Structure 1
Amino acid sequence: MAGAYIHIPFCSHICYYCDFNKVFIEGQPVDDYVDMLIREMNLVMASHPDERIETVYVGGGTPTTLTPAQLERLITGIRAALHFDAGEFTFEANPNDLLTTDKLQVLHDNGVNRLSIGVQSFNDDILKRIGRTHRAADVYQAIANARKVGFENLSIDLIFRLPQQTREDFLASLHQALDLDLPHYSTYSLILERKTIFYNLMRKGRLQLPNQDTEADMYQDAIDLMVTHGLAQYEISNFAKPGYQCQHNLLYWRNDHYFGFGAGAFGYVGRDRYHNFGPIQQYLAPLHDHKVPVIEHHLVPLEEQVEEEMFLGLRTREGVSRQRFADRYHMSVEAVYGELLDQLVDQQLLEVDDQRIRLTNKGQFLGNEVFQQFLLDDQLV
């Protein structure tokens, strides 16, 4: 059992904080890309005829920059190549691609059952400042249209620690988001990634960001408000009503396997972590010759598997399962990390019981610092 991630690298506009593999859609060979993406799925799955795909997630870029006809062609190809008949089927979307129902109708009619919509803020000035082209009014129209065609499983993303953003402003966006009464929300602190406009502005001293205390307050506000609206925090950045946790993302956090299709996509199958060519033409060229477009394979050693089991599992509120760890690696968590666990419990960063190991509330705010301590210096035998 595995998931499948499918990458659509096209955007109508490049946001100032985004470092994902993406290109302006104008002048790009979009139809050829869709055809070759389907070819890649067929080539790869021919080597895994018995693999059952449980979740499909189409991300980007912006998948909804595709035309209705291209979306239909893509989804039909996904279902045929992956033998994907049932399960969570997510598309990422931008609000300004959903101002009419034509694309939404194609998605819904072809079995897409979950939408993840990039909202980021309800403040129009901040949206301009971060390079978004939609406005708050577009969000309301997009949600109304999605519901009109029959979508129930809807999620929106919010970002905090944005340039010149105040705690009060983020609180206002939180309230507006929660007033929509959606079953799932994601909220992330801005990360300055290399090769982004914001990173370059930061290096020039021209980016004013909230300080760390304000950032922590914003995160706590999100946690508190989500809880009061019946949304449980099931991962550091994700909140859901019962039964609406994103199953595809849970697959990542449980360190399970997934196929990656599309330009720049990563996959993890067995011990093989592989990476596709990123530039569009370099991705397409081998597929025109009926060859898979993988640029690199990495056979994940035991130590790295164990580290990732801890990093990823600790991101979730359910934490790391002792039994699952023992079944996978034929050793106990204590055999690898016994002394470290004691230290982190003493520092009130971890809580440990007979079944699971979890971050405390304090540990959630210091997640990256905690995760780094699970890096292994020695080889496991």
Structure 2
Amino acid sequence: MIKGAYVHIPFCEHICYYCDFNKYFIKNQPVEDYLKALDLEMATTMIQAGGVRPETIFIGGGTPTVLQDEHFARLLESIRKHLYHEETAEFAVEINPENLNIAKLEAMKRAGVDRLSIGIQTFDDTLLAAIGRMHSRESAIAAVQLAKDYGFHNISVDLMFGLPGQTRAQLEHSLHAAMQLDPQHISIYSLQVEPRTIFYHRMKQGKLKLPGQDIEAEMYELLIKVLRDRGFEQYEISNFAKPGYESRHNIIYWNNEEYYGFGAGAHGYIQGQRVVNARAVKGYITRVRSEGHAMVERHSVTLQEKVEEELFLGLRKLRGINKKTFEEKYHRSLDYFYKDVIANLVKKGLLHEDKEHISLTEKGVFLGNEVFEAFLV
């Protein structure tokens, strides 16, 4: 069963220096045609699915809230028409602080949106400028407060650490600023310098100064302590929630379950296939108009690949992987595939194993990539 739906809005007013997602400057883009194509892609897909709608919906980007109010409302109406249903477990939207307003909040309330993921990254104005963000500390605080005042009570504040020039003190300041807003969820990821980003080109030129690995590890240790002390449970390597406010959509990814991907460049996992849509906006529109979908890549996932993905995705969760669930899913035990690997990681102190689960140890959380790589053939 396909559990989730991701809807991609690839438009931005400004390109953040670290972003490697599929995105385009919104100026002169065929936004009207894009929204019509999205509507058609969702409609066609749901017909093929026999009307069975997903449990969770997430709108990401790009910058979904860069859309004009009228276009944003129309997007939400399309999603409600084709994907939403009374038993939808979570309907989330990615928000940029600088373009959140009452009209967009009203449209989200009407459509049934119940979770906002607000991309703040840092509450330090100097660092915000250094990473190419358009909002300020003040506008970020105002956006969260506006959403709360309008009745949204499931808000994630999204932060980053390991930023160029960032100090431990600046990270601690941002964490405490976030706590003052009393969100229900915190996502906090370390900066990854990816190809096709401004930061990547600066790094190649020797112009990007990042905190070293030791300082980044200290930052990670700090954020875990601060958030745990404030009542947040770390349920995934980079995600912390108050009880009952875990991201249900992201858990679908970490459980290696299937999901739709709608929009230009969107990825999906459907009936055992990893699929990718056309990246270019006009190419996406043309394909949907002619074929009802925009898939340009399909890969049938082998059993070995599924098992590997199950391990390196599932072990991101602090609860780890349930052995019984794994065996029911793949008709083989974990030991059948990885007995020696697991034993070696347990011996190194990176993995904990009991009768029911395997999970990262505290040391393993800090060395997650080493653990994940051990499960790749």
TM-score above 0.5, yes or no: yes
Partner residue in 1 for 2:237: 236
- SS for the counterpart of 1:317 is coil
Partner residue in 2 for 1:300: 301
CA contact (8 A) 2:66 2:99 kept: yes
How do 1:206-225 residues align onto structure 2 when only pairs under 5 Å count?
206-225=207-226
Given the superposition, is the C-alpha separation of residues 50 and 356 from structure 1 closer, same or farther in structure 2, using an over 3 Å criterion? farther
Q: Give yes or no for the alignment of 1:58 onto 2:34.
A: no
The amino acid across from 2:53 in the alignment is: R
Q: Give yes or no for the alignment of 1:170 onto 2:171.
A: yes
Tell me which moved more, 171-180 or 282-291.
Answer: 282-291
Runs of 4 or more consecutive aligned structure 1 residues displaced over 6 Å after TM superposition: none
Distance 2:34 2:85 in 1: 21
Distance 1:228 1:72 in 2: 39
- Aligned CA RMSD, in angstroms, stands at 1.0
* Counterpart pick for 1:94 among 93, 96, 117: 96
Partner residue in 2 for 1:351: 352
Q: Give yes or no for the alignment of 1:124 onto 2:125.
A: yes
- SS for the counterpart of 2:60 is strand
Partner residue in 2 for 1:245: 246
- SS for the counterpart of 2:315 is helix
CA contact (8 A) 1:10 1:22 kept: yes
Superposition deviation, residue 73 in structure 1: 1.2
Superposition deviation, residue 68 in structure 1: 1.8
The amino acid across from 1:97 in the alignment is: N
Q: Give yes or no for the alignment of 1:286 onto 2:287.
A: yes
Superposition deviation, residue 137 in structure 1: 0.1
- SS for the counterpart of 2:326 is helix
Superposition deviation, residue 291 in structure 1: 2.9
CA contact (8 A) 2:40 2:292 kept: no
Partner residue in 2 for 1:191: 192
Distance 1:34 1:368 in 2: 38
The amino acid across from 1:211 in the alignment is: G
Tell me which moved more, 104-113 or 234-243.
Answer: 104-113
Distance 2:280 2:76 in 1: 23
CA contact (8 A) 2:10 2:24 kept: yes
- SS for the counterpart of 1:171 is helix
Instruction: Map Cα deviations across residues 86-131 of structure 1 (whole Å, 9 max, x no partner).
Output: 3200000100012x32211211222111000110011101100110
Superposition deviation, residue 288 in structure 1: 2.0
Q: TM-score with structure 1 length normalisation?
A: 0.97
CA contact (8 A) 1:322 1:357 kept: yes
- Which residues of structure 2 form unaligned runs of 5+? none
Q: Give yes or no for the alignment of 1:365 onto 2:356.
A: no
Q: Give yes or no for the alignment of 1:5 onto 2:16.
A: no
Superposition deviation, residue 71 in structure 1: 1.7
Q: Give yes or no for the alignment of 1:155 onto 2:153.
A: no
The amino acid across from 1:262 in the alignment is: G
- SS for the counterpart of 1:244 is coil
Distance 2:336 2:304 in 1: 13
The amino acid across from 2:69 in the alignment is: P
Distance 2:261 2:74 in 1: 19
- SS for the counterpart of 1:326 is helix
Instruction: Map Cα deviations across residues 148-181 of structure 1 (whole Å, 9 max, x no partner).
Output: 2110100011111100111111111111111111
- SS for the counterpart of 1:158 is strand
- SS for the counterpart of 2:183 is coil
Distance 1:52 1:104 in 2: 24
The amino acid across from 2:130 in the alignment is: R
- SS for the counterpart of 1:141 is helix
Distance 2:283 2:183 in 1: 40
Q: Give yes or no for the alignment of 1:19 onto 2:20.
A: yes
The amino acid across from 2:65 in the alignment is: T
Distance 1:265 1:372 in 2: 26
Distance 2:115 2:84 in 1: 19
Distance 1:309 1:57 in 2: 22
Superposition deviation, residue 83 in structure 1: 4.7
Superposition deviation, residue 67 in structure 1: 1.7
Q: TM-score with structure 2 length normalisation?
A: 0.98
CA contact (8 A) 1:9 1:21 kept: yes
The amino acid across from 2:276 in the alignment is: H
Distance 2:279 2:290 in 1: 17
Distance 2:287 2:343 in 1: 51
Q: Give yes or no for the alignment of 1:312 onto 2:316.
A: no
Distance 1:355 1:96 in 2: 46
Distance 1:183 1:193 in 2: 29
Superposition deviation, residue 290 in structure 1: 4.2
Tell me which moved more, 65-74 or 31-40.
Answer: 65-74
CA contact (8 A) 1:43 1:290 kept: no
- Which residues of structure 1 form unaligned runs of 5+? 377-381
Partner residue in 2 for 1:31: 32
Superposition deviation, residue 302 in structure 1: 0.1
Instruction: Map Cα deviations across residues 10-67 of structure 1 (whole Å, 9 max, x no partner).
Output: 0111000000000011110111111110100111121111533100000000000112
Total equivalences in the alignment: 375
Distance 2:70 2:12 in 1: 17
Superposition deviation, residue 287 in structure 1: 1.6
Partner residue in 2 for 1:379: none
- SS for the counterpart of 1:53 is coil
